[in-house]
Amino acid sequence: MGIQEQYRSEAAALLSSGEVKLVIGFGEGSTADRRRPLFARTPEEAQKFVLDAACIANLSTYLVTEGLLSDGKKVAVFLKPDGIRSVNILISEAQLKPDQVVILGYAIDKAEITALEGRNISDFSLGEEIRSHTPPPHILQEAERIEEMNPAERFEFWKAHFSKCIKCYACRQVCPMCYCRRCIVDVNQPQWVSTSSHTLGNFEWNIVRAFHLAGRCAACGACDRACPVNIPLRLVNYRMGKEVIDAFDYCAGENSSQKPVLASFKQDDPETFIL
Amino acid sequence: MAKIGVFVCHCGENIASMVDTGTLVKAMSDHPGVAICNEYKYFCSDPGQETVKRAIREHNLTGVVVAACSPRMHETTFRKACAEAGLNPYMLELANIREQCSWVHSEKNQATSKAIEITRSLVEKVKRNNELKPISVPVTRRALVIGGGIAGIQAALDIAGAGREVVLVEREPSIGGHMSQLSETFPTLDCSQCILTPRMVEAIQHPKITVMTYSEVEEVEGYIGNFTAKIRKKARYVDMSKCTGCGDCIQKCPVKKIPSEFECGLGKRTAIYTPFAQAVPNVPVIDKSRCTYFKNGKCKICEKSCQIDAIDFEQQESVETFEFGAIVVATGFQIQDTSVYGEYGYGKYKDVITGLHFERLASASGPTAGKIQRPSDGKEPETVVFIQCAGSRDPSKGVKYCSKICCMYTAKHAMLYTHKHHGSNSKIFYMDIRAAGKGYDEFTRRAIEEDGADYLRGRVSKVFEENGKLIVRGVDTLLGKPVEVAADMVVLATAMTPQPDAKQFAKRIGIGYDEYGFYNEAHLKLRPVETAKAGIYLCGACQSPKDIPDSVAQASAAAAKVLGLFSREQLEREPVVAAVGETTCAGCWGCVYACPYNAIEKKDITDRNGNLIKQVASVNPGLCQGCGTCVTFCRSNSIDLAGFTEKQIFAEVMAL
Amino acid sequence: MIYSPFPMRVVSKRAEAPGVNTLKLEFVKEEDHEFFKQNYKTGMFGLYGIFGEGESTFCVASPETRKDYIECTFRQSGRVTSTLANVDAGDIVTFRGPYGNRFPIEQFEGKNLLFIAGGIALPPTRSVIWSCLDQREKYKDVTIVYGARTVADLVYKDELDEWKKRDDVRLVLTVDPGGETPDWQDHVGFVPTVLEQAAPSPENTIAVLCGPPIMIKFTLVALQKLGFTAENVYTTLENRMKCGVGKCGRCNVGSVYICKEGPVFTAAEVQAMPQADL
Amino acid sequence: MTRILLRNKLDDCIAAWQKAGFSVFAPVRQHEMSSFGEVQKASDMAFDLVLPERTIKDHFFPQTEPLIKYKIGKQQIDSETMTPPDRKRVFFGVRPCDASGLAIDDPLFGWDYKDDYWFRRRDNSVIVTIVCTEADDFCMCTSVKLSPESDKGADVMLRPLANGAGWQVEAVSERGTALLETIPSLLQENSEPTAPVPQVAEKFDLEKVMEWLASKENFESQFWKDISLRCVGCGSCTFLCPTCHCFDIQDEGDTYAGIRRKNWDSCSFSLFTMHTSGHNPRNTQSTRWRQRIMHKFNYYRGKFGVNSCSGCGRCTRQCPVDMGITETLQAISNLPR
């Protein structure tokens, strides 16, 4: 039995036993190479799940849908390691209760799919794996290329990209970490970020988002894939993540008991002006 | 729209000599929303303040900006003036065109345009200010003093003397602290015990003071005026209410060879003991780890010897909870672990001792009854070498600071040694002699001039034993020559360091500390006895190395602060506190972790039927110090700080 | 150009209730005033603004019989209204409008009028009330039922007194239970209940009903009980708007552009809209 | 016999138009994105695109449009209405769906209150449409009763020649005729066959869809909740749509000066309809998705007689979760009746 069939029947069993109220996985997409999120509430619907190398989306983003988990019931979700990493971050930020999520874990290695063992978030110890995990070679190459630019060149590079931004906020909406009920761009007293998508307003938005994800990004690349105008957003987040690892030896999502790296006051803070 | 009054102060020549105030007044007069703009030589003067008040009344001002000095200087002055003229005092802003402008610039045009920018950005801020009212907090008028050394005792006595209740907590079996270990005290050479003991007794007998020895503060919660502290009373195994302090049990205890902590290991104690003869309370404790009964289940000789059945092997430790309005931290110091100076042979040679050892040797109640004897063989040393700064002012050994008392006590040691041993020879290696204090320099001079202390300026590189002598090798930097002294005893003036658990304890009660673990004051110069956490005060050597006079002075100062707080039933606090927007709070608790004051809690939001809808952050205005850390963190901008709202700050920045 | 507003001078500001203010505005330019005089009918709304903050939509609270000025009443809540609440006489604000449809008051002639309003929704009703009272002879009985949460929340207190004194107007005032003061003489109870007690006749009567959605819902039931038909009940909808001229897509309820086809509708028209979108 | 424009004459053509005072816009690729951009020569153009990622709408209803400039002074606020540039423009190589989009939006921007910002640009622009030779999986013009050779919204129609050497040229409006009069010497009489128009299968039954949407009882159907479950509520489908026209008006500036702007907004955004009271008529993603579909295929038609969709398929093509109008309408037409 392949993993797809195994997970279909496992999802069906979870649903028919009533252990979970919903399974979030993948179904056929609108074209042969696309997969789309599929929500199964019955064992029959679970038979439509597809699991193959095209299932790259990070479905954990649906776990923070407002009201989804407020009834205390469980939801099962198909997740790759980056999705599991997101779940760790969401738990550490109190957006998820660990016992409400059943994980149907899988990994993609080239075109091969392997099942990950464990169903509870605590079954997955990602620690070292995440740290040693590097972005795909082409991303890394691009990141290095940008790194080598001088500041003026780098600014031009990002200016060209950000000026394309249409502020559709797809990057935000697909991101599991963007769970705020009111995003900073929707604050108008004061209007911190211009709503206009001119180059300045676009810079404001994209930089604010990069800061808000520093030390929280699970590097799933969803923002990058979602961007309809092809801004290489994951490069920004990759760089911020790297910065946080270097400065604080903190890798987001290693486990679910991390405290927010940029918001944990330590009594021995070298700056004495606060306390 | 807003009607703002702008008042440009010359501060004599301080501002006017560098800022073209006429241009500033002109610029501000043309600024949207400015109803009146004046300049004057000293707005902080009475006529100056009158001008401000008159303008508020005549122009019906909605806000005031005084372009002058730092708000630290005169914010209160002008707030008061505003209030007197009927304007909410929080509708005032000070534009600092002195410290941030005239004093730091040397080019008038630049200074003037900077002054304009600073002032107008405050005008834009004040337009968005809201009227604020001070927060009233009830005050529990009972103080907790942590640490029963001389500082703690003094603070407790002063507070109790003014009629307020005090709980004095000491973790050792007796109060007294390090001062009780000292022989004579500089610069008067009066006997430490003689001046301390009456204070100890006064404290324990004071009707307003509850002394809790052998006890530790476990946990402190709450905020100024409203602290709750859990105090753990360790099991003493002696019923304090029965014990008369007769000492029979101590006499009979068969375990007699325990090195006494009080005597720095130079003397011995029993398993049931009081740390020293004049201990207060004079009630022994049983050292469970050394007691034969606790180890083997047999003995109980002390129980049998006690006429009044005060021994209670079943006693359990207990935790008591008290409410307090203020806390005085007087947890004191320890001396540095001298083993870091391997080259001085401490621990290797018995006759290399610390200053505190020397105190015990010199003390009439000490193990040698005041005779200076070598620990190795009990002989009286002929030559003693004192090494100053054996730990202090030595970044390589982790202590950059000066321990402040060593110069004085070393001089005292040399003096005491000479007094007890005529014809003896003391050599003191020193870096500098720091003797600033009343009668201090005279004291060190006396050691040199009258008592023959031989001061050698230089560092000691090595101490080693040769033919029964301790050879001290160093350099006399004044002569530029190496020196070697054959000594019978070496005394190291070790550094004063924070208590080993100082940092942990600070975290427990929520106060700040420096890199060493000394506790931080709110402002080194202007608020030296307050911590940044309102309602918690400092005194003694837990803040920095101090001698007795300084510790006592600071203790009285802390007591004065506590009494000031206790002078009213309600406390008025600055309304500059944060508040959470509950509709948009996502409950990620980042602010809870970020808050240095533990002022943010989790709050349940329920529907009408009591079902939990969500959890949000909630700021306790009593604890909040208005630092703004939570505001900067909150991604959804769901926290705002009254008086410094994001709207205000944004307007300020945009006006630059 | 389409989105360019008229500058308006603030004549006066009156505090109505906590957080609620009324501004009286006059035109700075005569041509703008002419335009307004020609186009304004009771029920229409405008976008009131301040450059630097934006625009906010609310009704013109003054009647079509008094076109020398514009009065508007609003609760301070967002970015624009907070700033508008801080203006003083002499300040310049902006007005874009009048937009939308109107109360067909000439069709009300010869009929009894029943005005029902809750809280901050008196302003749109007041515009019709005065339009009718200023031509009192054209209408028969006039009944005004007005309720607010508390006594302090009642707006236009002076005018309420005035209406109370007139013998050609029946004024029924009420506050929610718990909202009364010791010296409160009028009703205590929710508007629908008080309305049923007042029992105005549906015979030859037009009702104008404005208030928060929940009040409208229950008051409609009460009106039905009293025998009113949905065709004879008028109300206004206040959806979020940005353009005011049927372009920006914000105020849609079903196929209806509230800004152009509204804000005045009969209850029958409102009931035909997809209720879930309201 | 018809007239043709040869590909190798395109540079001359651009030059001639520029000489006649036009700026020339065409599909271009820049910074990893395709859109309409100003071109100087034929080689700037990207002809191999089925459809640029960005629509032509951007150039008529820009994502941010300055409306009014204001200055805040001590005594008064000065304001100045800003008008869009009067520049004459040729849009070359527009696909029929994008051109249709403009025509679909005209009545909206024109009813009662004429949106000067839209019409000033419309009146100064000439749309040169190129009939499609290729369609991809997402194209759906035929489903909304348009076609890969529709001339709706076009001023000039170009039909690619089968040999790829150029296009058959035909003016379909006065503006188009006038434009061609600027390049008479570049056009030649020819009878070369044109390339076949791709077959775009109809993906749903529009009549059935409209009928279902028109039925009141379906408004509260569970269907909307189910179909929109995976919608993440971003605005990319609306911003890439050639007909979506929702916007916001915002003041942006500092203490002393600023600009009132008209910015794109989206009915997908949760705060779009939020009242100041906190009441939000469309507070769930399903109600917002329903609004989008209803607006396009029911309300808009009721007001302006056309559906607000030109079948370009961008909503699906660029959707991060593979949703889009096609799937929803397919599902509706497949619903059991």
pLDDT digit string (tens) for B449-494? 999 999 999 999 999 999 989 999 999 999 999 999 999 999 999 9
Clarify whether residues B9 and B86 are in a common domain: yes
How many angstroms separate the CA of residue A192 from the nearest CA in chain C?
A: 13
Residues 558-617 on B with a CB inside 8 Å of D are: 583
Angle at D311 between CA D306 and CA D314, to 5 degrees: 130
Choosing from B497, B516, B546, the residue where a domain stops is B497
User: Is residue A211 very low, low, confident or very high in pLDDT (cuts 50, 70, 90)?
Assistant: very high
CATH number of residue B490's parent domain: 3.50.50.60
Chain B, nearest residue to D252 by Cα? B654
* B516 and B374 part of one domain: no
Average pLDDT value for chain B: 94
Tokens of B99: 């410290």
Please list every residue in chain A whose beta carbon sits closer than 8 Å to the beta carbon of residue D324: 30
Reported as a single tens digit per residue, the pLDDT across A197-208 is 999 999 999 999
Buried/exposed code over A135-146 (b: 16+ C-beta within 10 A; e: otherwise): beeebeebbeeb
Range of the domain at A71: 3-124
Q: Which residues have CB under 8 Å from C140's CB, separation 6+?
A: C110, C111, C112, C113, C204
A18 and A113, same domain (yes or no)? yes
> What is the number of CB-based contacts under 8 A between chain B and chain C?
6
CA distance C252 to C259: 8
Work out the minimum CA distance from B141 to partner chain D, whole angstroms.
45
Cβ-Cβ contacts under 8 Å between A and C: the total is 6
Measured between beta carbons, which residues in chain A are less than 8 angstroms from residue B647? 189-190
Instruction: Say yes or no for a CB contact (<8 Å) between D68 and C3.
Output: yes
CB contact under 8 A, D279 and C2: no
Residue A269 lies in a domain: no
Q: At what angle do helices A199-213 and A151-162 cross, to 10 degrees?
A: 100
> Are C91 and B1 in contact (CB < 8 Å)?
yes
CB within 8 Å: C51 and D273: no
For B280, the domain range is 248-305
Gap between the Cα atoms of D68 and D82, Å rounded: 5
Is position A274 within any domain?
A: no
Query: Does the beta-carbon distance from D73 to B124 stay under 8 Å?
Result: no
Nearest by CB to D230, from A39, A170, A198: name it.
A39
CB contact under 8 Å between B32 and D254, yes or no, is no
Smallest CA–CA distance, residue D226 to chain A, in Å, is: 9
> Last residue of some domain: A83, A99, A124?
A124
The verdict on B94 and B107 lying in the same domain is yes
Q: Is B2 on the interface with C (CB under 8 A)?
A: yes
Distance, in Å, from the CA atom of B11 to the CA atom of B44, rounded to the nearest integer, reads 9
With DSSP H G I counted as helix, E B as strand and the rest as coil, what are the percentages for chain D, rounded to 5?
35, 25, 40
Cβ-proximal residues to C145 (8 Å cutoff; 6+ apart), any chain: C114, C115, C116, C117, C172, C174, C191, C194, C195, C198, C200
Burial (CB count within 10 angstroms: exposed 0-12, middle 13-18, buried 19+), residue A191: buried
Q: What percent of chain B has pLDDT over 70?
A: 100
Suggest the residue from D113, D247, D259, D275 to mutate for an interface test with chain C (most C CBs closer than 10 A): D113
- Interface check D307 vs C, CB under 8 A: no
**pLDDT at residue D112 greater than cutoff 90:** no
Pairing of the two strands D77-81 and D88-94: unpaired
Asked whether residue A92 is domain-assigned, the answer is: yes
**Cβ–Cβ under 8 Å, residues C119 and C148:** yes
Q: Are strands C112-118 and C205-210 parallel, antiparallel or unpaired?
A: parallel
Mean pLDDT of B61-65: 97
Query: Which pLDDT value is given to residue B445?
Result: 95
User: How much is the average pLDDT of A187-195?
Assistant: 90
> Does residue D85 surpass a pLDDT of 70?
yes
pLDDT at C131 over 90: yes
Q: Residue B337's pLDDT is what?
A: 82
pLDDT at D91 over 80: yes
| Domain annotation covers residue B239 | no
Q: What is the pLDDT of residues C172-221, one digit of tens each?
A: 999 999 999 999 999 999 999 999 999 999 999 999 999 988 899 999 99
Q: Are residues A94 and A137 in the same domain?
A: no
Q: Which pLDDT does position A1 carry in this prediction? A: 65
| Cα nearest neighbour of D258 on chain B | B654
Optimal mutation site among B119, B649, B654, B656, interface D, most CBs of chain D within 10 A: B654
The confidence band for B510, taking pLDDT boundaries of 50, 70 and 90, is confident
Residues B199, B78 share a domain: no
**CA angle centred on D206, ends D203 and D209, rounded to 5°:** 105
Q: What is the CATH number of the domain that holds B98?
A: 3.40.50
Asked if A188 lies within 8 A of C82 by C-beta distance, the reply is no
B341 shares its domain with B408 = yes
Contacts of A38 in chain D (CB under 8 A): 230
Note whether A94 contacts B588, CB cutoff 8 Å. yes
D251 touches chain C (CB under 8 A): yes
pLDDT score recorded for residue B396: 86
Q: Which residues of B touch C87 (CB under 8 A)?
A: 1
Does A137 lie in the same domain as A74?
A: no
Contact B125, B37 (CB under 8 A): no
- pLDDT at res. A157: 96
B376 in the same domain as B422: yes
pLDDT at C145: 96
| Residue in B538, B582, B588 to test binding to A, most A beta-carbons within 10 Å | B588
B284 and B433 co-located in one domain: no
Tally of domains in chain A? 2
Side-chain half-sphere exposure of B180, counting CA atoms within 13 A:
26
Residue A272: its pLDDT value, please? 67
CATH number assigned to the domain comprising residue B612: 3.30.70.20
Q: Is C85 on the interface with D (CB under 8 A)?
A: no
Give whole-number Cα distances, B389 to B359, B460, B494, B546, C169, in Å. Answer: 17, 10, 7, 15, 96
Nearest Cβ partner for C1 among D76, D81, D276: D81
In terms of C-beta density within 10 A (0-12 exposed, 13-18 middle, 19 or more buried), how is residue C32 classed? middle
- Give yes or no for a contact between B247 and B265, defined as CB atoms under 8 angstroms apart: no
Residue of C nearest to B32 (CA): C91
Pair (B493, B409) in one structural domain: yes
- CB contacts under 8 A, D 171-230 vs C, are 216, 219-220
Residue A275's pLDDT is 64
pLDDT surpassing 80 at residue A269: no
Residue B446, SS3? Answer: helix
DSSP symbol at B580: E
Rounded-to-integer distance, Cα B347 and Cα C24, Å = 90
Indicate whether A137 and A80 sit together in one domain.
Answer: no
Q: Do C254 and D246 touch (CB under 8 A)?
A: no
Tell me the average pLDDT across A97-121: 93
Same fold, C6-99 and C105-236: no
Instruction: Answer yes or no: is B457 within a domain.
Output: yes
Q: With contact defined as beta carbons under 8 Å apart, do A73 and A98 qualify? A: no
A267 and B507: CB-CB below 8 Å?
Answer: yes
User: Which chains sit next to C, with 3 or more Cβ pairs under 8 A?
Assistant: A, B, D
Check whether residue B539 and residue B594 sit in a common domain: no
- Boundaries of every domain in chain C: 6-99, 105-236
Burial of B540-557, coded b for 16+ CB within 10 Å and e otherwise, reads bbbbbbbbbebbbebbbb
Parallel, antiparallel, or unpaired: how do β-strands B142-146 and B165-169 relate?
A: parallel
User: By C-alpha distance, which of C23, C22, C41 is closest to C106?
Assistant: C41
Give the pLDDT score at D190: 86
Rounded average pLDDT over D208-235: 94
Token pair of B654 as six digits? 């945009």
pLDDT at B421: 87
Question: CB of C100 within 8 A of CB of D112?
Answer: no
C189 touches chain D (CB under 8 A): no
Residues A146 and A140 sit within 8 Å (Cβ to Cβ): no
A251 and A154 part of one domain: yes
pLDDT score, position D1: 62
Centre a 10 Å sphere on the Cβ of residue D286 and count the other Cβ atoms it contains: 17
Select from A87, A77, A22, A78 the least CA-distant residue to A54: A78
Residues β-bridged to residue A101: A75
Chain B interface disruption, residue of A93, A180, A184, most B CBs within 10 A: A180
Task: Provide the strand spans (E) within B377-436.
Answer: 383-390, 425-430
Mean pLDDT, range C70-74, rounded to an integer: 96
Topology (CATH) of C6-99 = Elongation Factor Tu (Ef-tu); domain 3 (2.40.30)
Partner residue facing A192 (CB), from B506, B593, B650:
B650
Q: Are residues B341 and B438 in the same domain?
A: yes
CB contact under 8 A, D255 and B120: yes
Provide the CA B224 distance to its chain's centre, in angstroms. 17
Chain C touched by A70 (CB under 8 Å): no
Residues of C in contact with A188 (CB under 8 A): 78-79
Assigned domain for A181 exists: yes
B94: burial class by Cβ within 10 Å (0-12, 13-18, 19+)? Answer: buried
8 A C-beta contact, residue A183 and residue A172: yes
Instruction: Give the number of A-D residue pairs with CB atoms closer than 8 Å.
Output: 107
B530 and B514 within one domain: yes
Q: Are residues B553 and B637 in the same domain?
A: no
The residue type of D150 is S
Using pLDDT thresholds of 50, 70 and 90, give the confidence band for residue A81: very high
pLDDT tens-digit series, residues B386-438: 999 998 998 888 899 999 999 999 999 999 999 988 888 999 999 999 999 99
Instruction: Judge whether A147 lies within some domain.
Output: yes
Contacts of D among chains (3+ CB pairs under 8 A): A, B, C
**ipTM attached to this prediction:** 0.90
What does pLDDT average to over chain A?
Answer: 92
Contact A170 D63 (CB under 8 A): no
Q: How far is CA B577 from CA A46, B263, B597, B628, B630, in A?
A: 52, 50, 12, 8, 11
Rounded-to-5 percentages of helix, strand, coil across chain B? 30, 25, 40
Mean pLDDT of chain D: 94
Which helix or strand (DSSP H or E) is residue B407 part of? helix B406-420
Nearest residue in B to A189, CA atom: B647
3-class DSSP state for residue A84? Answer: helix
Q: What is the DSSP string of B587-618?
A: ---HHHHH-TT--EEEEEEE-TT--EEEEEEE
Is A182 within a domain? yes
CA distance D19 to chain A (A): 30
CATH of domain C105-236: 3.40.50.80
Residue type, B640: D
d(CA B488, CA B425): 10
